[in-house]
């Protein structure tokens, strides 16, 4: 396993290629519509099990579980065991702030983003 480059304080440009790669990888954690939907459900419902999320999303539980693992790994979601259930929740209020800021910025540029072919065409 490689060691991630240290980001001293808030991320600032110009950044090293390693730090830029790390930030891009972090945002790719949000790069799937299902992961964004999971975060929005956790925002509205608070804490949910993977089974509850799968039912509400209409997706197979293993698929939701895999996406939750990515969200946990990036620090967007955390789990808490309650009795026999493992509940998922937003890990940090700043995750919701980030989603809110993205929504505000997107509202001003949604048409361009919707028809952009460059973003989807690029392979990670």
- Is pTM beyond 0.85 here? no
- So what's the pLDDT on residue 124? 47
- So what's the pLDDT on residue 29? 92
Helix 33-45 and helix 61-74: axis angle, to 10°?
80
Question: pLDDT tens track of the chain, all 124 residues?
Answer: 555 555 566 666 667 888 888 888 999 999 999 999 999 999 999 999 999 999 999 999 999 999 999 999 999 999 999 899 999 999 999 999 999 999 999 999 888 888 888 776 554 4
Backbone angles phi, psi at 82, to 5 degrees: -130, 110
pLDDT in tens, 43-73: 999 999 999 999 999 999 999 999 999 999 9
CA-wise closest residue to 88 among 74, 69, 111, 63: 69
> Is 39 exposed, middle or buried, given 0-12, 13-18 or 19+ CB atoms closer than 10 A?
buried
Domain locations along the chain: 21-121
Classify domain 21-121 at the CATH topology level. Arc Repressor Mutant, subunit A (1.10.10)
Q: How many CB atoms lie within 10 A of CB 54?
A: 19
| Dihedral Cα 111, 112, 113, 115, nearest 10 deg | 90
């Amino acid at each position: 396993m490689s060691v991630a480059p240290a980001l001293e304080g808030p991320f600032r440009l110009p950044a090293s290629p390693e730090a830029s790669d790390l930030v891009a990888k972090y945002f790719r954690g949000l790069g799937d519509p299902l992961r964004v939907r999971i975060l929005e459900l956790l925002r509205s419902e608070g804490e949910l099990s993977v089974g509850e999320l799968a039912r509400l999303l209409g997706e197979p539980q293993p698929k939701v579980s895999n996406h939750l693992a990515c969200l946990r790994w990036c620090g967007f979601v955390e789990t808490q065991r309650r009795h026999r259930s493992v509940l998922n929740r937003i890990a940090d209020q700043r995750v919701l702030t980030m989603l809110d800021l993205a929504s505000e910025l997107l509202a001003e540029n949604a048409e361009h983003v919707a028809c952009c072919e460059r973003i989807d065409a690029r392979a990670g």
